[in-house]
Amino acid sequence: MAAVSSSLPASVNGPAPSLAVPPDTLTADNISVTYRTRRGIIEALHQVSLRIGQGEFVTLLGPSGCGKSTLLKIAAGLLQPSAGRIAIAGIPSTVPNRAIGVAFQKPTLMPWKTVLQNILVPAHTLKLDMRAARDRAAGLLDLMGLSEFADNYPNELSGGMQQRVGLARMLLGDPELLLMDEPFAALDAMTREKLTFELQRIWLRDRKSVLFITHSIPEAVFLSDRVLVMSARPGKIIEDYPIPLARPRSLATLDSPVFSEACRHLRRHFVEQTL
SS (H, E, C) the chain: CHHHHHCCCHHHHCCCCCCCCCCCCEEEEEEEEEEEECCEEEEEEEEEEEEECCCCEEEEECCCCCCHHHHHHHHCCCCCCCEEEEEECCEECCCCCCCEEEECCCCCCCCCCCHHHHHCHHHHHCCCCHHHHHHHHHHHHHHCCCHHHCCCCHHHCCHHHHHHHHHHHHHCCCCCEEEEECCCCCCCHHHHHHHHHHHHHHHHHHCCEEEEECCCHHHHHHHCCEEEEECCCCECEEEEEECCCCCCCCHHHHCCHHHHHHHHHHHHHHHHHHC
Task: Decide if residue 105 touches Mg ion (CB under 5 A).
Answer: no
Query: Considering only 63-71, 89-97, 224-232, 255-263, which stretch makes contact with Mg ion by CB under 5 A?
Result: 63-71
CB of 43 to Mg ion, least distance (A): 16
Task: Decide if residue 69 touches Mg ion (CB under 5 A).
Answer: yes
> By the criterion CB under 6 A, which residues form the site for ligand ATP?
35, 37, 42, 44, 62, 64-70, 233
Which one of Mg ion, ligand ATP, none is in contact with 93 (Cβ closer than 5 to 8 A by kind)?
Answer: none
CB of 78 to ligand ATP, least distance (A): 11
Task: Decide if residue 54 touches Mg ion (CB under 5 A).
Answer: no
Of 104 and 259, the one with the shorter C-beta distance to Mg ion is 104
Which one of Mg ion, ligand ATP, none is in contact with 64 (Cβ closer than 5 to 8 A by kind)?
Answer: ligand ATP
Sites of contact with Mg ion (CB under 5 A):
69
